[in-house]
Amino acid sequence: MKTSQQIRQDFIDYFLKQDHKFVPSSSVVPLDDPTLLFTNAGMNQFKDIFLGSKTPDHPRAVNSQKCIRVSGKHNDLEEVGKDTYHHTFFEMLGNWSFGDYFKAEAICWAWQLFTKVWGFNPNQLWATVFAGDANDNLPPDEEAEKLWIENSELPPERVLRFSRKDNFWEMGDVGPCGPCSEIHIDLGPDRCDKQDDPDHTCGVNGDCSRFIELWNLVFIQYNRDETGKLSELPAKHVDTGAGLERIVAVLQNKTSNYDTDLFMPLIDHIAQITGKKYTSQLGNQTDNAFRVISDHIRTLSFAICDGALPSNDGRGYVLRRILRRAARFGLLLDMHEPFLYQLVPTLVDYMGTAFPELKTRAHHVINVIKAEETGFSRTLERGIAIFESDIAELEQQNLKTLPGDKAFRLYDTYGFPLDLTQLMAEERNLTVDVDGFTVLMQQQKDQARAAQKNLIYEADALSEVLPATSDSQKYLTSSITARLLGYVMDNHYHTRGSVPAFTRVGLVLDRTCAYAEAGGQVGDKGIISADNLLFNFDDTRRIGPAVVHFGSTDSENISIGMEMTLTIDPARDDTRRNHTATHLLQWALQKVLGSHAHQEGSMVCADYLRFDFTHPESLTHEQILQVEKLVRDQIAAAHPVTFKVMPIDDARKLGAMALFSEKYGETVRVLAIGTESPDALEEAFSREFCGGTHVNNTSDIGSFKIIKEESVATGIRRITAMTGRALNDMLYQRSDLIDQLGSLLKTTPDEVVERIKNLIDTNKKLNKQLKKGTAGDLKSSAQQLLDNAAAIGSAKIIIGETGTAPVEAIRSQIDWLRKKAPSAAIVLAAKTEDHKVLLFAAVTDDLIKQGLKAGDIVKQIAPLVGGGGGGRPQMAQAGGKNPEKINDALEAARILIKNSLSKHTI
């Protein structure tokens, strides 16, 4: 039996023999397609070729593309685990022809691969073709039909025609499209999952699991315009896609994709961690949990590996939903501590050969998943308790729908994605008011959107109309003469008349030496002038092929077509210092922390540099000092800095580092530190893909210091540092501060630190003495409350107000009271220093069994002091803003407790 790795390689090798070029899978995080959250098909990276905006490097291509489908019409998330074949992550095997071969070759090769290489039984295979469409005036695809019959062993009755719904592919409402032809397999009558339905008939494109599609061959031969009219494309393309998981299941003779070697290593590891057994059955929670977790860890690992991170919006929120969904299913396997991250090495073991980036980034993936799991585990069980409380209220009222505001609270406060709440409700045969949730969610989005600033342009709208700008001089000079071609304003490109005065616009020149914002480096600032006419620009951006200089002028006489001189602000030299320093910083971090410390982003400007990198925890003071020393040593060593433009494959062979979130072309610019010759880059100690501006020698950087180190996301740290003039200015300011502190503390600058330490120690001692006094007062107050407590049976009702004290001190007194009164209901109130209210309730276990719960008590009395709160049955806390109502709240608590306990007193 072939392994999945062999099956994947068979496909690639077969098409390499047919003169196809192997193209590695693109990132599952689309880098240049804002319409996609994740790559969801093999053709995504070739979209520009099909649209005609890019020329292919090779007319034939083959690969296995990583895909994620969790949104829009391709959303398989809710089905995962319930059946044998739905996944959020999958591999799409594909071969492409860009204006080269067409239907005949695609069909012949597909049949040969299936039957000769993989050994599918021809008697089980079926083919489908396009039946035509009267609305589009399209005839049936008789060409494909004939090719199947003539070039395969399929009899005519197993080549079926289907409508455009099943056999016509379109990229969108407009654009390339064409008929498709699919290969299906008949798995036999026993694989039908609707045998109990007397009205059911099995068939291709039916609604049972006996017949499944294995491969779709798309023949892109038309273009649909804005009116809906179709026209023949001058160049015809082939785009095929075969799901690896389904093919492996058939070839390994498995009835479920999850029983193949693409999932079983993970499932076995889950069984080992949890102590549970996987039985490959549908319909039970345990097996469903195994399938969900094994699927979701694949999606999480590949997405994080390719640069995505869990967050609260966009694709980051989708990842967070998936991780929290997997964690919730972990509870069904009695996993109450983080465990998903432990599965990553297993995935790397069997998928890392096909996708080497998984090996490279495994440490980062583990750290991100572990940190995200740990964070969610703090609120997961608390959120479930809130959910259970909400459900109990519904059951008391005999209602079947969880209100939208309750679902939104779980989302907003406890991080429960809506689909997780829906899943838990579904398990209780309940529904969720999605419309109510959506209204509250939209209100939150509207508030966030209102705070955003509007741009004076939209890049997509302008990129098609702007002319190309030559910017090769940006590396060579700080001044250049150029012709003004036009300006951008109000989302339009203007090529006539004069540039408006006192208005922010973007000038477009035929050439420039300004650097447009890219790769983390800010756009240049400067002046564009002609005689006494000045245009000051404070930002430079690339829009499509043009470099646009944004700023304003107070002159009304700058005309389109003028020859002008562009001069870059000298502050660019500071930006160059900071940019080269980021490369030294990346090198130093890997020396100190390890090779897992990869760049995740940066921001380089004249005043400082900001560098984001993968690392699970904050740097120690000693590590920061080590990094600083390494960078400063390389600055002092006066290393030459050079660059070379080369093919990307050659750059990778050199070991040049690339940013995971960037998409690169066939050629790249490699920035090298430590060699003078562009032809000796292997001698450099730092080599990175980089299109930014840099110093010529590390000594030009001058100095370097880390100003701040912090967390910006799960598993991502950020360093802010300074160099050159800005650092010198900052150090002078800090020196002045030290002098001022020395004067205030009446000591020398060298002794300031020791003096402050002594003050802190003295302050701690005074606070400790103060707390002792507070604790003594509280204990005396607690003893008095206990002595005066009413009783019902053996249960004490301890209610009263304490003095102002820290929360932990009040909780300590509650613990003391519970020891003194083993059967008790306790409610304490305290005023805070800012004139607000704290309420605490505690109930012993014996009274909880009688139905009295601390959380219920504070829920009912907190509104009386203008607040709210909740908690566990044993202990709960609430806050309020009306201290004058404390007595009312305590009296309400007294009545509530007495009434509850009286019901159980004989």
Helix/strand/coil for 826: strand
pLDDT of residue 449: 53
239-248 burial, b for 16+ CB within 10 Å, e for fewer?
A: bbbbbbbbbb
- Lookup: tokens for 431: 């529904």
Tokens found for residue 380: 């997961």
Our measurement of the distance from residue 277's CA atom to the centroid of its chain's CA atoms, rounded to an integer in Å, reads: 32
146 CB-near residues (< 8 Å, 6+ apart): none
Q: Which residue do the tokens 């390689």 mark? A: 9
How would you classify the pairing of strands 790-792 and 824-831? unpaired
Q: How far is CA 741 from CA 16, 180, 750, in A?
A: 72, 77, 11
Give the C-alpha separation, 750 to 769, whole Å: 31
> CA–CA separation, 643 vs 804, rounded Å?
67
pTM of the model: 0.66
Nearest one of 387, 389, 409, 391 to 400, comparing CA atoms: 391
- Which of the four pLDDT bands, split at 50, 70 and 90, describes residue 143? very high
- The torsion angles phi and psi of 759, rounded to 5 degrees, stand at -65, -40
Beta strands of 228-278 (E only): which ranges? 230-243
CB-count burial class (<10 Å; 0-12, 13-18, 19+) for 203: middle
| Pair 46, 59: CB distance under 8 Å | no
Number of Cβ within 10 Å of residue 31's Cβ equals 15
**C-beta separation of 79 from 258 below 8 A:** no
Which residues are bridge partners to 185 per DSSP? 125, 212
781 versus 877: which is more confidently predicted?
A: 877
Percent of the chain with pLDDT over 90: 50
For residue 695, the Cα-to-chain-centroid distance in whole angstroms is: 34
| 82 vs 124, more confident | 124
Question: Tens digits of per-residue pLDDT, 832-857?
Answer: 877 888 899 999 989 998 889 998 89
Q: What is the pLDDT of residues 340-349, one digit of tens each?
A: 999 999 999 9
* Predicted confidence (pLDDT) at residue 457 exceeds the cutoff of 80: no
Asked if 485 contacts 560 with a C-beta cutoff of 8 angstroms, the reply is: yes
Task: List all residues 6 or more positions away from 448 whose beta carbon is below 8 Å from its beta carbon.
Answer: none
The pLDDT value recorded for residue 834 is 78
Do the Cβ atoms of 303 and 326 come closer than 8 Å?
no
| Rounded Cα distance, 548 and 649, in Å | 32
Q: What is the Cα–Cα distance from 280 to 295, expressed in whole angstroms?
A: 14
Q: Looking at the predicted structure, is the pLDDT value of residue 906 above 70?
A: no
How far is 755 from 848, CA to CA, in rounded Å?
Answer: 54
Cβ neighbours of residue 849 closer than 8 Å, sequence gap 6 or more: none
The secondary element (H helix, E strand) that includes residue 843 is strand 837-843
How far apart (Å, rounded) are the C-alpha atoms in residues 778 and 499? 75
> Can you tell me which residue has the tokens 């319930």?
82
- Give dist(CA 659, CA 603) in Å, integer: 13
Cα(321)–Cα(327) distance, rounded to whole angstroms? 10
The token pair at 276 is 């549970």
- Over the stretch 644-660, which tens digit does the pLDDT of each residue have? 999 988 988 888 888 76
| Residue 905 pLDDT exceeds 70 | no
Residue 618 is predicted with a pLDDT of: 92
Question: In the predicted model, is pLDDT for residue 772 greater than 80?
Answer: no
Residue found under tokens 């009558």: 189
Assess contact for 855 and 871: CB atoms under 8 A.
yes
Residues, the chain, total? Answer: 906
Interatomic CA distance for residues 744 and 750, integer angstroms: 14
Q: Which two tokens stand for residue 790?
A: 């009413």
Instruction: Provide the token pair at 611.
Output: 């560098």
- Residue 112's contacts (CB-CB under 8 Å, 6 or more residues apart) are none
Beta strands at 609-614 and 641-647: parallel, antiparallel or unpaired: unpaired
What is the reported pLDDT for 866?
Answer: 87
Which of 201-210, 400-409, 560-569 has maximum average pLDDT?
560-569
- Dihedral over Cα of 104, 109, 110, 114: its sign: positive
What sign has the CA pseudo-torsion 343, 355, 595, 301?
negative
Mean pLDDT of 543-564: 93
Q: What share of the chain is helix, strand, coil (3-state, %, to 5)?
A: 45, 25, 30
HSE-CB at 50 with a 13 A cutoff on CA atoms is 27
Rg (CA), the chain: 34
Q: Copy the structure tokens of residue 366.
A: 């583990």
Mean pLDDT of 542-565: 93
- Which pair of tokens denotes residue 839? 């309420």
Query: If you average pLDDT over residues 334-340, what whole number do you get?
Result: 89
pLDDT-derived band of residue 567, with 50, 70 and 90 as boundaries?
Answer: very high
Is the pLDDT at 664 greater than 80? The verdict is no
Query: Residue type for 327, please?
Result: A
pLDDT over threshold 50, residue 453 = no
pLDDT band at 773 (very low <50, low <70, confident <90, very high): low
Residue 256 has pLDDT above 80, yes or no: yes
pLDDT at 699 over 90: yes
Residues linked to residue 543 through DSSP beta bridges, in sequence order? 546
How confident is the model at residue 193, as a pLDDT? 80
Mean pLDDT of the chain: 88
Across 529-546, average pLDDT: 93
